[in-house]
Copies of this chain bind each other. A is one copy, B any other.
């Protein structure tokens, strides 16, 4: 089944500069935001293709045709959700890249911030991780590029850690970065906000294990003697 919905969208720089009303919900409420939130819920719960515009309209409380007074298309709605989620991650990344902490502390911060972001809107990130593939053409290309950029920021921390001698020199970049991201992103499958652990605790526990796994022998010895003190 082809996904060749045609969308004429502003270039990336235009989004950052002018943010036209049609492309991002600025208002904290209003019909447009209600549609956006309903779409997150339904796309997250049932998936993009299994959700009809009629489902969204019903949840919002208007008739199906009326949706198009506020949005351009179903795919535009998906694009908006996916991009806002990845942008959140990219903004985390740029904060951490700017910090002066050593690699291990930077990695822990990145893991915890990522986990916190996911926990704040599990359904949204379920859409970001699993539904982006229903974007077509350049929308899809753009989303893939943004994800790649984010993954690169983890690679950078790893590289610096290896150079400083904190991390093992035999790490495979690709396997390691995707293992960390996989452990993090898989949380949408099991983490529940109503559980006993906060997102920060989960992030800390995850970092405890993953960081010990990354450490070089020299770094391990320093670390264990530190604990024993």
A187 is an interface residue with CB less than 8 A from chain B: yes
A49 is an interface residue with CB less than 8 A from chain B: yes
How many copies make up the complex? 2
Tell me how far the C-beta of A174 lies from the nearest C-beta in chain B, rounded to whole angstroms.
7
A interface, size bucket: 35 or more
Tell me the chain A residues, 185-229 only, with Cβ under 8 Å from chain B.
185-187, 189-190, 197, 202, 205-206, 208-215, 217, 220-221, 224, 227-228
A186 touches B190 (CB 8 A): no
A187 touches B182 (CB 8 A): yes
A152 is an interface residue with CB less than 8 A from chain B: no
- Which positions in A face B, CB cutoff 8 Å? 1, 3, 46-47, 49-52, 55, 130, 133-134, 168, 170-172, 174-176, 178-187, 189-190, 197, 202, 205-206, 208-215, 217, 220-221, 224, 227-228
